[in-house]
Amino acid sequence: MVRKFRKRAWVTTILYDMMNAMHVRRLWVSGIVLAAAIALLPFSFHAERHLETATRVEGSQAETVRQELADRFRSPFVDEVVLVVQGLPPADSGEGAQALEPIATALRGQPGVSGVVSYLDSHDSVFLGRGGGTFVLVGLTSTEGPIELLVPKLHQLASSLQNQLRGRYPAVNLQLTGEIPLNFDIRKASSDDVDRGESLVIPATLALLLVAFGSLIAALIPLAVGQLAIATTMAITGFLAQRWHLSILVQNLATMLGLGLGIDYGLLMVSRFREAISAGHDGPAASVIAARQAGGTLLISASTVAIGFSALLTVPISEIRSIGIAGFLVAGMSVLLTNTIVPTALAWLGPRINLGRLPFTPKLDAHRAERTGIRWRQWGKVIVAHPWLALLLAGTPLLLLAWQVRRLDTSLPRGDWLPAAAESVQALHTLKQMDREGVVESLRIIVELPSDSIAQTDTGWSVLDRLTKRLASDPRSGRVISITTIADGNRSSLLNISRETRRTFLSSDGQAALIEVLPAGSVSVRDQVNWVRELRKTGALALTGVPGATLLVGGIPALNADYETIIRDRFPSVMALVVGGTLIALLCGFRSIIVALKAIALNLFSVAASFGALVLVFQNGHGSRFLGVPEGTGSVFPLVPIVAFAIVFGLSMDYEVFLVARVLEARRNGLSEIDAIPEGLARTAGLITSAAAIMIVVFAAFTFGDFLVVKMIGFTLAVAVFIDATLVRIVIGPALLRIAGDWNWWPGGLAKTRGQRS
């Protein structure tokens, strides 16, 4: 029977052979990996410039509208920014027009500017804001990198123009806003959050590692693994970003996960090595023992993390796919570095791993591991003696917390969650005071007729005019602009309209037209999204009265609507892929159905509880002010649950794998289930506690940044790890192992594989 199980354990055998091959040629393998990592390091410093802040939803209607405007209309305003002008005389006065002229002229001469429209070009009241301010629409085009790279040059130009005008108009103020400048400032906020997070995390992490190991050398190794994993991941994503659209969130997630996973994996390897050293082995022998014992565990753990991130690649949203790529690379690089470079370094160090021992820590000896595990072994005996009581006491509060997940709202949060210090945000607030913020949040509607040319037939012109007026009569509409409003309803006036304006609002074949709808100031983001869905549901036939007509709705509100819809539709399939893939990985690693199913159930429990905490703190506002959010957001970003689920599911599995692997090892060495569970806790609970404390510090540090979506992700991950490493793995997990007894390891978990010691 044992032979039968061994034959089925082909995956475990292959993993063992891989590890054995690496140990035999560890100098060559680790040398190649280290050389590759060092070669990639310089590229990591420039990766950020290739990452985008713009959100792209592939195949969405909003993206289709954007492509239509670029390819069919050849509009110069596919990408645009808004220059908000204050402190000048009113634009409809002679002096105001004279002051505005050099601004418009300078913008037209700026490289990358494809179009400029102001009150000077169209004496439209939309350019006359409340309080005397005005704005200039600036179209942009770029063939060299992301469009956001043009923003610094526009900032310089605005600053130069402001200085020129200040002598005559001391109160003049020129500020950029719009989707592109907002994205640029979000990029800066993201970068600042990473720098701030690292400045907080690295000293705190080093302190925790010093407490865990009591040795400076031992503490530095996991930290170095984390930093190297981050650098190599950023370098690789920088190369990939030159071919595909990758989000700036890569930077945040790579830092969070690189520190978390890299340190976790390094911690396990160093802990196993120190155990072998304390047992009397020399450096090379101890490194081989550590790599063989910890290497397989790390491969199982990393595979579960990688599966979660791989599932995100199925979602056609640039941000989520970027996170999936970053997470997959971080997990892969962390386990590669830990299984190659670290064992080689440990073999060279040998007993010197304990250099830099802190004065308050006991000296490492053969009995220290046993002494430090006594309390955890006693705790395990209590759990084994009273498993049902342990389940009741630990499970009840978690059930109450998990129950809150039913109120999770994944629409866009209310309130102003943009970084307040950013110029683009301040300019957006100025537009709001001018009652012109709809310029940034406009709906872009493309209507196409099957036969009548809008530009050449009265019928087509009449259809567009009726639709424009119908949209203008909606109370949610602040202003509607189309070719008919620009021509004052007179088709013959088309000849007097500039080529730039005509290209913006009318396709080259005359069959399609753009209607730009500026929402009223009182219309919230949620109302805008609902409006988009209402228009799409109503359809072109009902809105135009023309059979065969088509209507596409784009713009920022439509992008938000498409974003929410795709995430809602793809979430179940992502969950199924993560759960199914993780189940297969656990079955291959442990050859036990019960252990695999129990691990899945506990992970779902941890995820639900962490989502419940997210609802209570951010959505409902209970304690959110301590995280820099003055009040409840009413909802959470659609991105957060799907990303957090994939990450939490993989990270939570780390501690399950650590614990179960040790319990299984004890069972294979002849201990009964009653004795193996306390032994497994004695060997891993301290490690799990140290690793979890580091993870929590890493994730919690990112809750104090300015990027609200990263705050939410960091908070959810920190809570999930805390719950998982305390109540779930230290209480509920061992209790369930005790209740299942020998069934835990059915059908082949207790069969030993080649290379395992008896």
Q: Are residues 147 and 251 in the same domain?
A: no
pLDDT (tens digit per residue) in 464-487: 889 999 999 999 998 898 888 888
Question: How far is Cα 584 from Cα 586, in angstroms, rounded to an integer?
Answer: 5
Domain count along the chain: 3
Section 20-27 average pLDDT: 58
In a domain, 705, yes or no: no
Instruction: Specify the range with the lowest mean pLDDT, choosing from 38-42, 524-528, 534-538.
Output: 38-42
Banded pLDDT at 124 (limits 50, 70, 90): confident
Question: How far is Cα 306 from Cα 332, in angstroms, rounded to an integer?
Answer: 7
Q: What are the residues whose beta carbons fall under 8 Å from the beta carbon of 244, sequence distance 6 or more?
A: none
Q: Which of 745, 736, 675, 603 is nearest to 380 (CA)?
A: 675
655 in Cβ contact with 725 (< 8 Å):
yes
Q: Which long-range contacts (CB under 8 A, 24 or more apart) does 371-375 make?
A: 372/686, 373/682, 373/683, 373/685, 373/686, 374/682
- For residue 425, which phi and psi values (nearest 5 degrees)? -70, -40
In a domain, 272, yes or no: yes
Question: How many helices and strands, by DSSP H and E, does the chain display?
Answer: 25, 8
- Of 281 and 619, which is predicted with more confidence? 619
In a domain, 394, yes or no: no
Question: How far is Cα 502 from Cα 522, in angstroms, rounded to an integer?
Answer: 30
Which of these three, 140, 164, 182, is where a domain ends?
182
Q: Are residues 221 and 341 in the same domain?
A: yes
- Of 214 and 159, which is predicted with more confidence? 159
DSSP secondary structure string for all residues of 197-245? HHHHHHHHHHHHHHHHHSBHHHHHHHHHHHHHHHHHHHHHHHHHHTTS-
Section 276-304 average pLDDT: 78
pLDDT at residue number 612: 92
* H-helix or E-strand spanning residue 296: helix 283-312
Question: How far is Cα 685 from Cα 659, in angstroms, rounded to an integer?
Answer: 8
pLDDT(731) > 50: yes
22 in Cβ contact with 33 (< 8 Å):
no
In a domain, 388, yes or no: no
Handedness of CA 28, 29, 34, 37 (dihedral sign): positive
pLDDT (tens digit per residue) in 352-408: 877 766 665 555 444 455 555 677 788 878 888 888 998 898 888 889 988 988 888
pLDDT at residue number 394: 86
In a domain, 545, yes or no: yes
pLDDT (tens digit per residue) in 491-509: 777 767 777 788 888 888 8
Q: Are residues 33 and 87 in the same domain?
A: no
Distances (CA, A) of 698 to 254, 259, 602: 12, 7, 23
pLDDT at residue number 574: 87
* H-helix or E-strand spanning residue 555: strand 550-555
Residue 356 CB: number of other CB atoms within 10 A?
15
110 in Cβ contact with 140 (< 8 Å):
no
In a domain, 436, yes or no: yes
pLDDT at residue number 365: 44
Q: Are residues 332 and 239 in the same domain?
A: yes
Question: How far is Cα 398 from Cα 739, in angstroms, rounded to an integer?
Answer: 20
Question: How far is Cα 451 from Cα 539, in angstroms, rounded to an integer?
Answer: 18
Strand, helix or coil at 511?
coil
Which of these three, 560, 594, 612, is where a domain ends?
560
Cα radius of gyration rounded to whole Å, the chain: 30
In a domain, 536, yes or no: yes
pLDDT at residue number 536: 92
pLDDT at residue number 748: 60
Instruction: Specify the range with the lowest mean pLDDT, choosing from 92-96, 284-288, 703-707.
Output: 703-707
Q: Are residues 130 and 226 in the same domain?
A: no
What angle separates helix 639-668 from helix 556-590, to the nearest 10 degrees?
A: 10
pLDDT(8) > 50: no
Q: Which of 552, 539, 544 is nearest to 459 (CA)?
A: 544
Instruction: Quote the percentage of the chain above a pLDDT of 70.
Output: 89
Distances (CA, A) of 653 to 202, 261, 500, 503, 657: 24, 12, 57, 55, 6
DSSP secondary structure string for all residues of 632-670? --SS--THHHHHHHHHHHHHHHHHHHHHHHHHHHHHHTT
In the 8-state DSSP scheme, what is residue 172? -
Distances (CA, A) of 529 to 144, 476, 562: 33, 12, 9
In a domain, 589, yes or no: no
pLDDT(631) > 90: no
Strand, helix or coil at 108?
helix
Q: Are residues 103 and 229 in the same domain?
A: no
Place of tokens 């000896």: 365
What angle separates helix 673-701 from helix 708-723, to the nearest 10 degrees?
A: 160
Strand, helix or coil at 117?
strand
Which of these three, 509, 537, 560, is where a domain ends?
560
Instruction: Specify the range with the lowest mean pLDDT, choosing from 14-28, 181-195, 661-675.
Output: 14-28
pLDDT at residue number 3: 41
Banded pLDDT at 614 (limits 50, 70, 90): very high
By residue range, what is the domain housing residue 239?
Answer: 1-52+215-357
CATH number of the domain residue 83 falls in: 3.30.70.1430
480 in Cβ contact with 516 (< 8 Å):
yes
pLDDT (tens digit per residue) in 638-658: 888 888 888 887 777 767 777
Q: Are residues 129 and 41 in the same domain?
A: no
Q: Are residues 92 and 170 in the same domain?
A: yes
pLDDT at residue number 4: 38
Mean pLDDT, all residues of the chain: 80
CATH number of the domain residue 313 falls in: 1.20.1640.10
Q: Are residues 292 and 236 in the same domain?
A: yes
Section 691-706 average pLDDT: 79
Q: Are residues 526 and 490 in the same domain?
A: yes
Handedness of CA 53, 58, 63, 69 (dihedral sign): positive
635 in Cβ contact with 709 (< 8 Å):
no
Q: Are residues 250 and 339 in the same domain?
A: yes
Banded pLDDT at 202 (limits 50, 70, 90): confident
Banded pLDDT at 675 (limits 50, 70, 90): confident
Over 129-152, what HEC string results?
A: CCCCCEEEEEEECCCCCCHHHHHH
Banded pLDDT at 71 (limits 50, 70, 90): confident
Q: Are residues 336 and 464 in the same domain?
A: no
pLDDT at residue number 582: 79
250 in Cβ contact with 325 (< 8 Å):
yes
